[in-house]
Amino acid sequence: MKKNIIAPRTLSGFMELLPQEQAVFNKIKSVLEGVYSSFGFFPLDTPVLEYSEILLAKAGGETEKQLYRFSKGDTDLTMRFDLTVPLAKYVAKNAGNLSFPFKRYQIGKVYRGERTQRGRFREFYQSDIDIIGDGQLSIINDAEIPAIIYNIFTKLGINDFTVRINNRKVLNGFYDMLGFGEQSQDIMRIVDKIDKIGQENVIEELGKIGVETEKANRLIEFIRIDGSCAEVVSKLKQLGDNEIYLQGVSELEQVTSLISSFGVPEKFFKIDLSIARGLDYYTGTVYETTLTAHPEIGSVCSGGRYDNLAEYYTERKLPGVGMSIGLTRLFYILNEKNYINKNDFGSPCDAMIIPMANDENYSQTLAYAVKIGAYLRENGISTQIYYENKKFKGKISYADKLSIPNVVFIGEDEIKNGVITVKNLKTHEQQTLAQDKAVEFIVSNKKQSGSLVIMGEEDA
């Protein structure tokens, strides 16, 4: 009976990587997990599906249209579109069982049915960290976040980035001083677009909502204030005495001076008064992170301080600070720009054993190969054994295609002498060694592979 063949397709906007790309993606993900854990963040995992009522407590406008929302039985369900709303629900729901400050990371897929276009995804990983306080949360936490970003990026091999820091109180206070009052949110949203639409368009848009050109110019002069963090803070201190404003300036001063204590060199962070983060719920420190050579990409890691995480689900005041990396998009960009180090990072293992034997000796050779495989694994060398019946050349070509860096040959001589022959497929160096020496050989090759990401010295 002949079956109907259905063409195998994947939904567009849903990233599905080839094995070696996926291996690299997962290594990047592990670096993130490793750094978050090293700072004492709990891992968290919440359902992909939630009651629509929960996810949409706040949402509106654009978000609603992009939802994957449906009913099953009587239940109105939605696939999560970010990790913040589920966190808010989680903390509100479990507050009695959590110890505050509650530090958690979550790396998970979220869903947004955006118009598909190159480099935009409908299913994508977000990688979030948040530190939530009960009623209050020390400003020091705001300095830890950039230190974590710095750790992640440098561990990945991304060495050309800037964490841009601002404070919403500084902006709100300054707007107050200019007499903007209730318009502040709208103004902030327009000014936030300056990198995208340019200074003139910002002045024009501000004009449309009634901001005089003189004030618009003062505003632009303000957000263009530049210099070292200390210089910017010092300039800001002279610009006004509004209470909120001064509180913001003081926070900005504390945060930026503490970041240095965390060991982050000053070239990796700066005060940038032009960033505001579009979202209403940020109330203090805000961050964006740009790849210095690629401003066109926009922020690859953003976040900030908020007063009230879960106001839709609880009366309890839960301030926090956090940041989010759009991991799928970041990977896409690094891959697209050819920054991924192809040096055997996409390999499924460190070594492949080839049992070399004719049919007669095969079972003895195989048993030895299997034993050597177990020995290598115990010593931290991931190892596969090639079992298939294929010509020698085909076996080597398999290892080559998978970028497996080392091949181990096991034949009659090796069994007799209790040794193994290891060949590095990159250097073509081949040695017959005792098992422990073979481990050393493979480990030393491993160390030479470098970092996951290699960004050239090029400038934008």
Residue 303 Cβ vs a copy of itself, minimum distance, rounded to whole Å = 17
Spatial separation of the C-alpha atoms in residues 128 and 145, rounded to whole Å: 11
Dihedral pair phi/psi, residue 377, rounded to 5°: -60, -45
Tell me the sheet residues that pair with 326: 126
CA–CA distances in Å: residue 318 to residues 89, 136, 168: 12, 7, 18
Residue 354 Cβ vs a copy of itself, minimum distance, rounded to whole Å = 13
Residue 172 Cβ vs a copy of itself, minimum distance, rounded to whole Å = 19
Q: What angle do CA 165, 176, 281 make, to 5 degrees?
A: 50
- Is 34 or 295 the residue whose CB approaches a copy of itself more closely? 34
Paired sense of beta strands 320-326 and 282-291, if any:
unpaired
- Is 7 or 460 the residue whose CB approaches a copy of itself more closely? 7
Residue 122 Cβ vs a copy of itself, minimum distance, rounded to whole Å = 8
Residue 27 Cβ vs a copy of itself, minimum distance, rounded to whole Å = 9
Residue 162 Cβ vs a copy of itself, minimum distance, rounded to whole Å = 21
- Is 82 or 195 the residue whose CB approaches a copy of itself more closely? 82
Contacts of residue 70, Cβ cutoff 8 Å, sequence gap at least 6: 77, 78
What is the number of helices (H) and of strands (E) in the chain? Answer: 17, 16
Give the type of residue at 146.
Answer: P
- Is 204 or 311 the residue whose CB approaches a copy of itself more closely? 311
The per-residue DSSP string of 182-221 comes to GGHHHHHHHHTTHHHH-HHHHHHHHHHTT--HHHHHHHHH
- Is 25 or 161 the residue whose CB approaches a copy of itself more closely? 25
> Which residue stretches of 178-326 are H helix?
184-191, 194-197, 199-208, 213-223, 229-237, 243-261
Residue 314 Cβ vs a copy of itself, minimum distance, rounded to whole Å = 7
Residue 119 Cβ vs a copy of itself, minimum distance, rounded to whole Å = 17
- Is 178 or 284 the residue whose CB approaches a copy of itself more closely? 284
Residue 438 Cβ vs a copy of itself, minimum distance, rounded to whole Å = 16
- Is 211 or 321 the residue whose CB approaches a copy of itself more closely? 321
Other beta carbons less than 10 A from residue 90's beta carbon: 23
Residue 140 Cβ vs a copy of itself, minimum distance, rounded to whole Å = 4
Contacts of residue 210, Cβ cutoff 8 Å, sequence gap at least 6: 183
Joined together, the tokens standing for residue 39 give 């700072």
- Is 242 or 373 the residue whose CB approaches a copy of itself more closely? 373
- Is 26 or 217 the residue whose CB approaches a copy of itself more closely? 26
Spatial separation of the C-alpha atoms in residues 229 and 160, rounded to whole Å: 18
3-class secondary structure per residue, 339-382: CECCCCCCCCCCEEEEECCCHHHHHHHHHHHHHHHHHHHHCCCC
| Dihedral (Cα; 370, 375, 377, 383), 10-degree rounding | -40
- Is 75 or 228 the residue whose CB approaches a copy of itself more closely? 75
Nearest CA-CA partner of 129 in 166, 162, 151, 103 = 103
